Amino acid sequence: MLDRKGFKNNIERILKMDFGKTLDTAEYYQKYNAVAKTLMEKIVNNWNRTEEEYSKGKQAYYFSAEFLMGRALGNNLINLGIYHEVKEILKESGVDINELEETQEDAGLGNGGLGRLAACFLDSCGTKNLPVTGYGIRYSHGIFKQKFENGFQVEEGDNWLKYGDPWSIRKSEDEVIVEFGDNKVRAVPYDTPIIGYGTNNINKLRLWKCEPIKDFDFNLFNLQKYDEAVKEKNRAEDISRVLYPNDSKKEGKVLRLKQQYFFVSASIQDLIKKYKNRFGRDFKLFPKYHAIQLNDTHPVVAIPELMRILIDNEGVNWKNAWEITKKTFGYTNHTILAEALEQWCKDLYKECLPRIYEIIEEIDKYFVKELDEKGYSHDKIKKMRIISDGNIKMAWLAIHGSHTINGVARLHTDILKNQELKDWYELYPNKFQNKTNGITPRRWLALCNKELSYFITELLGSNKWITNLEMIKQLEEYADDENIIKKFLDIKQIKKNQLARYIKESEGIEIDPNSIFDIQIKRFHEYKRQLLNAFHILDSYFSLKENPNLNIIPRTFIFGGKAAPGYIRAKAIIKFINEIAKLVNNDSQAKEKIKVVFVRNYGVSYGEKLFPAADISEQISTAGKEASGTGNMKFMLNGTPTIGTFDGSNVEIVEEAGEENNFIFGARVEEIKKIKDSYNPKEYYEKIPRLKKVVDTLIDGTFKDEGTGMFKELYDSLLNGTSWSKADEYFLFRDFNDYIEAQKKVDEAYKDRLGWAKKCWINMISAGKFSSDRTILEYSREIWNIKAKKI
């Protein structure tokens, strides 16, 4: 039980000490900070006890360039089991907990699925009492805040730390020095507690902030050279200033490379220091106590960095250092796209990280020798070399230097083994595993959809499903219970009403909560095919213009997502969608049946409102291109069917919930493999009038791109291709008719309200497999070899 009086007294004490305010006079961000710090005081003893217990055995360390954590307050209160008590305490003091939660900025530490997966994994590690620590960068600014001006995406700085961060503790005593080719910097750790659900264990996320060795040159300042006096400070802080800075020029590439090396060097130095305090300089036992997971290729420079420290600093010979390194690292591949298999110009490495480059050269030399001894041909060796054509292949380095490589959905892993990484699978067949991704049920149901969460608990007679999601399969018996299904529909309507109100407040757009909420929210990329969705909307609009009495269910199309600042074609698609929205939403004839909304600055907190309210989930990437997808799992868990291709984890979703309860369309991987070399999109364009009509709006004056030429470039990329991409590289034209037909099936199915609700129900109760708890337990057993330790 929570000491209510003591809790309130602590809040008032902190308000007085930190801000000179009372609960009556404080601003909401000040109240938020006081509540957060009160909770930190409550957990700190258990946090220290957890670290002490974990230090006795093997631990895993999750290295990731991003951790998309979302707001902390509500999630931490849910996990501590005191949400309702704190809500009541605050209510008695005139404080609305919902307003308090809205006060917090989403931490600008991640961008998309990669970072959100890392956050879900940390939540599951804490909940399952697994000794796992996250390591990354404490960016002072996120990737950017998104707004729209005349339909164009505009980026603004994301200063998420403007009111401070009450959830992190600076640990100056653990700072280390990181050296580059041209300078040195200090890496200062900030520790954030990861609170597991229903446990006393408190895990840790350690993020490094970059600071200068000398932050101020007094002599230069005294000479009135003010900019030069703080030049070193600014140069150092740039390294942890912005998540994924634009790297279209050399300066940006150098900064990104320094970011990657900065956090892995600091992290490995941290681990080595703690190991030496316990075991001295005998490093044979290092892999016995450390498992490091590389979340994609961003942290792969950790492999040569561990080699450097072992050889140069600790006197370990090459052979032993390499054995230690290989036994320590695991590598998660998150992509099938060739362009996303990270490569670095070797000259940049020579300039920024000269010693690391020498070590990679040695690794490459020994690898070539290994292949030569196995009888590999010259051409095959050249194809597989870690350094070739002037570039360092980071994925190749990761595979060679790790004991385990895993994909993130069964289809993805099969494609890696049989196509993209076939040579490597043949060389190291025992290294490859699959670990289908998952999501945490705490944030993505218990927190964001309390109404449905309570209903599930009521039906099961227990809330144990929150840490054992497969229990919800027991609710299958209610699939034909009309009363239960109607209550389920009522909950969906509540969430739709809430979202409609929020969109009105945030975007100034009124939407009909009785319409179908058709939602596609994800990072903008051509392979995710937001453009195909846009073509369908235009086709529906033109059909309504031809036949205003067309019998279709009113539908609200909701988009959310950011395009990377330098990704012009993705930004063109955003502009195109916003132009469609302007056309449709201002047409008195059409707007009763169709509405288009592009929500600004989509992130975790917006997602918490969108996922529970969706009627249909758009997962329409080209088959074979999406590694996994976890947004589809969040929709599924909140009772939303998928309209999608047979791609990523859609395959496994359909296996669990049944194809009859989802809407699968389009070419499958096998067909695309057969047709990709002979594919001619012009044949579809010329034979399908409705396709031609929507595509031509890019150039026929229907929409304006304000003279940028981006719509014409988009049109040409589809019909003719470019110097760097094939025509219609992602097969939109091939799948257009199939997609239209699938959408018609959605419309027809939705008319049978109870039949539709049953599809939703079956999806929800079939989501048990997609808990990140299941995924992380597989990692712990089959890759990391760590065991749970409960304090």
**Catalytic residue check, 523:** yes
535 with 732: CB under 8 angstroms? yes
139 with 64: CB under 8 angstroms? no
**Catalytic residue check, 528:** yes
Give CA–CA dist 152/568, Å, rounded: 11
**Catalytic residue check, 378:** no
Q: For residue 604, how many C-alpha atoms fall within 13 Å in the half-sphere facing its CB? A: 32
Nearest to 332 by CA among 405, 401, 438: 405
Beta bridge partners, 292, equal: 61, 329
**Catalytic residue check, 422:** no
Catalytic-labelled residue, pool 523, 595, 734, 759: 523
Measured in whole angstroms, how far is the alpha carbon of residue 632 from the centre of its chain?
13
Nearest to 58 by CA among 315, 303, 285, 281: 285
What is the Cα gyration radius of the chain? Answer: 27
Beta bridge partners, 242, equal: 141
Lookup result for tokens 């396709």: 691
Catalytic-labelled residue, pool 133, 192, 556, 630: 630
Cα–Cα distances in angstroms (integers) from residue 220 to residues 224, 232, 233, in the given order: 6, 12, 13
Phi, psi (deg, nearest 5) at residue 246: -55, 130
> At a CB cut-off of 8 Å and minimum separation 6, what does 685 contact?
691, 692, 695, 719, 733
Catalytic-labelled residue, pool 206, 435, 522, 593: 522
Lookup result for tokens 């991704």: 437
How many residues make up the chain in this entry?
791
Give CA–CA dist 303/401, Å, rounded: 7
**Catalytic residue check, 522:** yes
Question: Which class for 490: exposed (0-12), middle (13-18), buried (19 or more C-beta within 10 A)?
Answer: exposed
Beta strand pairing call for 169-170 and 184-195:
antiparallel
109 with 72: CB under 8 angstroms? no
**DSSP state, 141?**
B
Nearest to 78 by CA among 491, 440, 495: 440
Write out the E strands in 213-314.
290-295
Catalytic-labelled residue, pool 141, 334, 575, 595: 334
Give CA–CA dist 118/134, Å, rounded: 8
CB atoms within 10 A of CB 762: 22
**Catalytic residue check, 630:** yes
Beta bridge partners, 63, equal: 135, 294
Give CA–CA dist 65/125, Å, rounded: 18
Catalytic-labelled residue, pool 37, 443, 528, 593: 528
Lookup result for tokens 């130095």: 269
Cα–Cα distances in angstroms (integers) from residue 180 to residues 339, 345, 500, 627, in the given order: 27, 16, 51, 34
Give CA–CA dist 18/563, Å, rounded: 39
3-state SS, one letter per residue, for 590-641? CCCCEEEEEECCCCHHHHHHHHHHCCEEEECCCCCCCCCCCHHHHHHHCCCC
> At a CB cut-off of 8 Å and minimum separation 6, what does 349 contact?
257, 356, 357, 360, 392
Catalytic-labelled residue, pool 209, 593, 634, 774: 634
Give CA–CA dist 376/370, Å, rounded: 9
Catalytic residues: 334, 522-523, 528, 630, 634
